[in-house]
Structure formats: C-alpha cells, structure tokens
Amino acid sequence: MHILEMQAAYGRLRGDSLRLEPGLNLIYAPNEGGKSTWAGFLKAMLYGIDTRDRDRKGYLADKNRYQPWSGAPMEGELVLTWHGRDITLRRGRQGNSPFGAFSAVYTGTEEPVPGLTGENCGETLVGAP
C-alpha cells in the first residue's frame, strides 16, 4: 500500500490536504501544527473511531479529541495505491457516529472495491488488526 493523498476535516484540520511522495515523507511543523492530528486521522481512516470509548480524567476519547475545531462534521478522504490500483477511501458522519459512513471505490471510476469494508479496511490494507 502506498498513500498518495489525504484530505481531512479532523481536529485542527479544516479540509486540509497532505500529498505524499514516493519514499520517506517527513511532516515538519511547529507545535500545534497538525503532525499528531494527521497520524490520528490516518489511523481513523483505516480503522474507524471507537464510539464506545469515553473521556476519563486526563484522557479524551478520539471521537471528542478530534472533533473539528471549525465545528464542521468530521470527515475525510484517503487516496492510496493497493495491488497496482488507486483506491479512494471516504469516511464521514452516519447518524451520531463520527466516521460511521465508509466507502472504498476505485479512484476515477467510483466502482466499489469488493470486500473492503469499514470494519476490515485497516487489517486488509496494512495487514495489522
């Protein structure tokens, strides 16, 4: 799997895009520049967000920690290459569930990727449960 581009309304990101090039990519930014937010976004795009997780003393659940600062709905798009084909993953709100809506389509055709679901996306693409 090779990640090409990410676009997010997630935490401090307001529809921001991050394009990655072949090879090693470094995200260099000052404190509060969005580095950890991009990492959290990537994890959420691949594995979803656990809506059962609750805030505790000294800890914010991801569903609250990454609510867009702008007040917009939490949503995103991830374009990647997998087995030689470009795939676009999209997640967004479904009812009260942030990132509950999921689609995986072949980029350019919008044809659904067979067998790739919101529940198995991360494990299928990355190989890690």
Residue 33, pLDDT > 90, answer no
Percent of the chain past pLDDT 70, that is, above it, reads: 100
Span 28-34, average pLDDT: 89
Nearest-CA neighbor of 117 among 47, 58, 38? Answer: 47
- Average pLDDT taken over every residue of the chain: 94
- pLDDT of residue 86 exceeding 90, the answer is yes
pLDDT of residue 32: 86
**Signed CA dihedral, 106, 111, 114, 118: sign only:** positive
